[in-house]
Structure 1
Amino acid sequence: MWNVARRPRWIAMLVLCLAVAAAFALLGQWQLERSVDEATVIDRDTETVQPIDRLTEPQRAVTEAMAGHVVSATGAFVPGEFTVLSDRQQDGESGYWLVGQFRVGATEAERQTGPSLAVAIGWAPTSAELDGVIDRLPDGPLEITGRYLPSEAPTDSDFENGEHSSLAIAALINQWQSVDDVYGGYLVLHDDVGQQLISSPKPSEEVQLNWLNIFYAAEWVIFAGFAIYLWYRLVKDAWERELEEAAELAAQQSRDPQKVD
């Protein structure tokens, strides 16, 4: 078989297959590098409290760099603008969140037209327990701290019965009576105002590989190996075909030695 493989035609075919295999291998390396690059952890201080207007501004989407930072805000809760979210998990138990509209502003005049911030105030196993939390909230201006998180996507909640399970800023805007500017994320309150605090742990800094890119890298390696195998299979087929033709010619000559092709 290797006598066939050393012919110029098949050497040229081998060079072509090796070039294709090299291209596939480079693509596989690129995909593997992407999976590692996307797993790189950016060391950032999320636990030092900073004013929310230093981290972000109203109408701005929450980026990955912003998400999870502990921030502070001065303002006041808007009376009557509270929403209860159902099916909120905490420590393996399903319960309810109380969410309020918080007007950010240092003075009364600023709070009248200031931006709104959705604040997840507390968790309770039953919605009835959250009724008393609203009454215990301080009247007037106050400074709050909490972890700033991106808005959740709206879900198919049972709106006909007034039930909501997702903290979606877009949905809250439709419920609030008076809204000017709105922050793109929400704050999970860290201050104890007589309610069970919502669990909001520090963002995970574990390295997580992009397994989809690793899968693609493995595919390119398989394709590269297949290119080499294809050359081997074509050479072997050509060799076997020549053996069959030689055997057929020998059989014809044995039957009719005088026959000349």
Structure 2
Amino acid sequence: MLRTLFAPRLVGLHLLVIGVLVAFFLLGRWQLGVFTDSGHPQATDDPAPVALTELSRPGERVTTDEVGRQVTATGTYDATAQLLVADRRPDVDAPGGRASAGAGFWLLTPLTLADGSIMPVVRGWVASPGDPAVDVPAGEVNVVGRLRPPDQSDAVQRGGVLPTGQVATVSTAELLNLWDGDLRDGYVVATRQTPALSATPVAVPAPSVGAPLTWRNLAYAAQWWIFAVFAVYMWFHFVRDAVRSTDPEPQPET
């Protein structure tokens, strides 16, 4: 039997099947990778900054088409109304909460525009309320940043009451009760400013769109692996027939 299994003809068959299995397995993995990557958000064109007043109007909600857009705004900060958004990290997509390692504070400052309306601006991130960067610059400032939708007021669950001057979320509904004036929806995460930002800038992603899952690629992956199983099945039958053909025929009893 061993002599048959390692005959030149069958050795060639063994090697061919091994090559086929490796190729089919890798092709299946490739198609599976295409499938798993298909559901991830895809980056879109990132337009040049436009005036905040072109995208956001008092009394109107921020739409999904406006989220992530670069905006510019000129005004003055109200230092007396600044708030600290507690338990945040220097990335808008990073998980927050008291159990989050490296959590600090966002500096949320109202920016009063020329028309008297107010836009919440996240001026950056600090590790503690005593950081010198908490101080608000006086006079007129020019801000460039990305527009973000407001947080839901119940987006963060916490076990106790925050100190005065701190909030858990950047919620337009909550800020309406804390700040006086004509408040615009959402908030701007400052990426640069004149005068320069003193706190650590908060990372904020460019606009993106969701991509559908390509189920066809998942079917292709399954197809390649089914072919691999079929190749093993055919190899088994060829080897079995070869072994049977070389076995001596049983002799009749006398």
Q: TM range, normalised to the smaller chain?
A: 0.5 to 0.7
CA positional deviation for 1:44? 5.2
Partner of 2:140: 141
Range with greater deviation from structure 2 (182-191 or 82-91): 82-91
Partner of 2:185: 184
Residue 161 and residue 145 in structure 1: after superposition, are their counterparts in 2 closer, same or farther (change >3 A)?
A: same
Partner of 1:101: 110
Residue 76 and residue 208 in structure 1: after superposition, are their counterparts in 2 closer, same or farther (change >3 A)?
A: farther
Indicate if the aligned counterparts of 1:68 and 1:203 stay in contact, CA closer than 8 A.
Answer: yes
Indicate if the aligned counterparts of 1:87 and 1:165 stay in contact, CA closer than 8 A.
Answer: yes
CA positional deviation for 1:161? 3.5
**In proportion to residue count, which structure has more helix?**
1
CA positional deviation for 1:53? 1.1
Q: Cα RMSD over matched residues?
A: 2.8
Counterparts of 1:46 and 1:101 in 2: how far apart (Å)?
26
Residue 139 and residue 93 in structure 1: after superposition, are their counterparts in 2 closer, same or farther (change >3 A)?
A: same
Counterparts of 2:118 and 2:197 in 1: how far apart (Å)?
20
User: Which runs of structure 2 are paired with 1:221-240 in the superposition (5 Å)?
Assistant: none
Counterparts of 1:188 and 1:143 in 2: how far apart (Å)?
13
Residue 185 and residue 66 in structure 1: after superposition, are their counterparts in 2 closer, same or farther (change >3 A)?
A: same
Match of 2:211 among 196, 207, 210: 207
* Partner SS state of residue 184, structure 1: coil
* Partner SS state of residue 133, structure 1: helix
Counterparts of 2:209 and 2:123 in 1: how far apart (Å)?
26
Indicate if the aligned counterparts of 2:84 and 2:167 stay in contact, CA closer than 8 A.
Answer: yes
Partner of 1:166: 169
Indicate if the aligned counterparts of 2:134 and 2:199 stay in contact, CA closer than 8 A.
Answer: no
Counterparts of 2:43 and 2:88 in 1: how far apart (Å)?
30
Q: Give the gaps of 5 or more residues in structure 1.
A: 1-38, 212-261
Indicate if the aligned counterparts of 1:96 and 1:125 stay in contact, CA closer than 8 A.
Answer: yes
Residue 123 and residue 42 in structure 1: after superposition, are their counterparts in 2 closer, same or farther (change >3 A)?
A: closer
The number of residue pairs the alignment matches comes to 161
Match of 2:130 among 128, 132, 140: 128
Counterparts of 1:84 and 1:74 in 2: how far apart (Å)?
22
The one-letter code of the counterpart of 1:50 is V
Partner of 2:120: 118
- When normalised by structure 2's length, the TM-score is 0.56
Indicate if the aligned counterparts of 1:47 and 1:202 stay in contact, CA closer than 8 A.
Answer: no
Residue 44 and residue 57 in structure 1: after superposition, are their counterparts in 2 closer, same or farther (change >3 A)?
A: farther
The one-letter code of the counterpart of 1:189 is A
Percent identity of paired positions between Structure 1 and Structure 2: 24
Indicate if the aligned counterparts of 1:104 and 1:116 stay in contact, CA closer than 8 A.
Answer: yes
Residue 133 and residue 48 in structure 1: after superposition, are their counterparts in 2 closer, same or farther (change >3 A)?
A: same
- After TM superposition, where is structure 1 displaced by more than 3 Å over at least 4 residues in a row? 41-47, 156-163, 208-211
CA positional deviation for 1:159? 4.0
The one-letter code of the counterpart of 2:139 is G
Q: Which has the larger radius of gyration?
A: 1
Counterparts of 1:152 and 1:196 in 2: how far apart (Å)?
21
Q: Give the gaps of 5 or more residues in structure 2.
A: 1-38, 92-100, 216-254
Partner of 1:67: 67
Counterparts of 1:79 and 1:124 in 2: how far apart (Å)?
16
Counterparts of 1:151 and 1:210 in 2: how far apart (Å)?
32
CA positional deviation for 1:58? 1.3
CA positional deviation for 1:57? 1.1
